[in-house]
């Protein structure tokens, strides 16, 4: 536990006493704390989560400056630590100071885009689990929610409703070729928009934000469901794409070249099942399977009901590839050979089937469990948890596992990793009480469904000025 002014406010990343170098594992990482926070909520220990929410709120980048540059207000730090410093003018007295890291101390100096999104998701979970809505109703918390949402909804040069980010801005925090519009960020973004809309106070000052939020929800869900989805039917469609298509009626809207379909995908794609690809940009589709993005798309209802079941069908069909000896592959397949050298910069930690390059991460058990419970298929999660139980405690709760089968403890893996332990605990607690998963799940919005259905059924030309929806949405 990490204490600030005598109160617990979080958990350190890892407590590996066998290692002589602490590096930054003695800090509280916002994304790492989420499974710990969920575990505390499920056990009724609300004060720790409440303290975490309120103290991290104070760390938002109100007047943060890095290299003479000020990031947008609302940016949440990736992590923070508590430093004890002497009081001014009195060396005998000390005080605790929160020291946040907005990326200026991180590897690659990458800003943590996902931290604020996770903060909103945890805030909603706290209110649903504890019944204490006074925290989210506080003026400073409402301001914090608005700042995060406004930062993410800010206009830019990007033409897509997806959130544009740099490489390494999420759980995969090293160079892995996921810059642009990675699925994980879009799923968290969608979930945070829904959670934020649910918690925002109905007042005159929030009307414009609510309107922008609703517009983005419709556009984002349409974009991801239509263009990120791939199954055998869609794969065959891409295989027969024509390129250099113009106008609104183009089938190949992003000018994807059929030769981009990798040989591994032809073997990997089952007859039944599908998934959301890792990324989509003009003339480029990242066909890799990214676990967190797909699982959280189920949890947040970013994926449709049929798509959600298809993702779980794929996990079952490709159990040997995605789960193997230790749940759960962070992505599949790994970058290898020249592709690994070019995309990762020959990263010695992200070697093939290690760390973020196809490594197995036990913390993903809890996201898998929430997704399976939501879709009423808990037996998939139960099977994965039993598989992990055979080794994970005896292996001293490592951060990640290496090799295609996940048989070896990661070569640079920290032991007694907090989110490996917390992820397992949350999975067990939720399987024992599936009803508790409701604090994390987003339900499908009927108005969004109706609008989305109207957009799917109407042809682009016919949409122009002829069909009037009850509410106007910009897509």
84 within some domain: no
How many Cα atoms within 13 Å fall on the side-chain side of residue 303?
29
Average pLDDT along the chain, 475 residues, taken 10 residues at a time: 94 86 87 97 97 93 61 83 84 86 76 92 98 96 94 87 92 93 98 96 86 94 96 95 88 92 95 97 95 98 97 98 97 97 95 97 98 98 97 97 97 95 98 97 79 63 45 51
29 within some domain: no
186 within some domain: yes
In terms of Cα–Cα distance, which of 204, 108, 105, 191 is closest to 148? Answer: 191
427 within some domain: yes
Phi and psi based region of residue 74 (left: phi greater than 0; alpha: psi -120 to 50; beta: remaining): left
Query: Is the separation of the CB atoms in 241 and 252 below 8 Å?
Result: yes
For residue 179, the model assigns a pLDDT of 93
456 within some domain: yes
Query: Is the separation of the CB atoms in 168 and 111 below 8 Å?
Result: no
Q: What is the domain-level CATH number for residue 274?
A: 1.50.10.10
1 within some domain: no
The residues facing 96 across adjacent strands are 84
**Domain residue limits at 349:** 112-462
Q: Is the link from the previous residue into 333 a cis peptide, with omega within 30 of 0?
A: yes
> Which pair of tokens denotes residue 387?
């598989």
For residue 463, the model assigns a pLDDT of 46
In terms of Cα–Cα distance, which of 114, 444, 128 is closest to 308? Answer: 444
3 state DSSP class of 126: helix
The CA distances from residue 193 to 31, 135, 221, 306, in Å, are 17, 18, 11, 22
Overall pTM surpassing 0.85 (yes/no): yes
For residue 86, the model assigns a pLDDT of 86
> Which pair of tokens denotes residue 416?
């007694």
The residues facing 81 across adjacent strands are 99
Query: In whole angstroms, what is the distance from residue 86 CA to residue 101 CA?
Result: 21
Query: In whole angstroms, what is the distance from residue 443 CA to residue 441 CA?
Result: 6
Burial class (CB in 10 A: 0-12, 13-18, 19+), 202: exposed
52 within some domain: no
Considering its fold, how many domains does the chain have in total? 1
Helix (H) or strand (E) holding 86: strand 79-87
Q: What radius of gyration do the chain's Cα atoms show?
A: 22
Query: Is the separation of the CB atoms in 81 and 28 below 8 Å?
Result: yes
251 within some domain: yes
The alpha carbon torsion through 243, 289, 160, 462 (nearest 10 deg) reads: 60
For residue 467, the model assigns a pLDDT of 46
> Which pair of tokens denotes residue 325?
């000896």
Beta strands in 59-124 (DSSP E): 79-87, 90-101
The number of residues making up the chain comes to 475
The CA distances from residue 328 to 36, 75, 182, 390, in Å, are 18, 29, 19, 14
Angle among Cα 304, 180, 252 to the nearest 5 degrees reads: 60
């Amino acid at each position: 536990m990490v204490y600030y002014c005598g109160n617990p406010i979080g958990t350190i990343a890892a407590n590996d006493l066998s290692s002589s170098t602490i590096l930054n594992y003695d800090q509280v990482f916002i994304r790492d704390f989420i499974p710990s926070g969920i575990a505390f909520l499920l056990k009724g220990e609300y004060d720790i989560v409440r303290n975490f929410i309120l103290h991290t709120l104070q760390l938002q980048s109100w007047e943060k400056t890095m290299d003479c540059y000020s990031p947008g207000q609302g940016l949440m730090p990736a992590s923070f630590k508590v430093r004890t410093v002497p009081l001014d003018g009195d060396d005998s007295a000390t005080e605790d100071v929160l020291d946040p890291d907005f990326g200026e101390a991180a590897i690659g100096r990458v800003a943590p885009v996902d931290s604020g999104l996770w903060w909103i998701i945890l805030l909603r979970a706290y209110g649903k689990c504890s019944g204490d809505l006074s925290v989210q109703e506080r003026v400073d918390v409402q301001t914090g929610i608005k700042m995060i949402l406004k930062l993410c909804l800010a206009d830019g040069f990007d033409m897509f409703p997806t959130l544009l980010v740099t490489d390494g801005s999420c759980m995969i925090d090293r160079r892995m070729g996921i810059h642009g519009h990675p699925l994980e960020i879009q799923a968290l973004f969608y979930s945070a928009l829904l959670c934020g809309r649910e918690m925002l106070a109905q007042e005159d000052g929030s009307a414009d934000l609510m309107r922008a939020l609703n517009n983005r929800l419709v556009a984002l869900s349409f974009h991801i469901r239509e263009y990120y989805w791939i199954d055998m039917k869609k794969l065959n469609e891409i295989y027969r794409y024509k390129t250099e298509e113009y106008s609104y009626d183009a089938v190949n809207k992003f000018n994807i070249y059929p030769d981009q379909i990798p040989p591994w995908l032809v073997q990997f794609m089952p007859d039944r099942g599908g998934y959301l690809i890792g990324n989509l940009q003009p003339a480029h589709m990242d066909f890799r399977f990214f676990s967190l993005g797909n699982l959280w798309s189920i949890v947040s209802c970013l994926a449709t009901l049929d798509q959600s079941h298809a993702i779980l069908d794929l996990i079952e069909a490709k159990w040997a590839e995605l789960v193997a000896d230790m749940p759960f592959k962070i992505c599949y397949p790994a970058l290898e050979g020249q592709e690994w050298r070019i995309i990762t910069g020959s990263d010695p930690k992200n070697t093939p089937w290690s760390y973020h390059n196809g490594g197995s991460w036990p913390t993903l058990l809890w996201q898998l469990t929430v997704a399976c419970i939501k879709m009423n298929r808990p037996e998939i999660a139960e099977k994965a948890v039993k598989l992990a139980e055979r080794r994970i405690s005896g292996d001293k709760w490592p951060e990640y596992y290496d090799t295609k089968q996940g048989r070896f403890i990661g070569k640079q893996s920290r032991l007694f990793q907090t989110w490996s332990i917390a992820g397992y605990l949350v999975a067990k607690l939720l399987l024992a009480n599936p009803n508790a998963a409701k604090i994390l799940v987003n339900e499908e919005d009927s108005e969004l469904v109706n609008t989305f259905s109207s957009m799917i059924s109407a042809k682009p030309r016919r949409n122009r000025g002829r069909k009037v929806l009850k509410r106007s949405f910009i897509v």
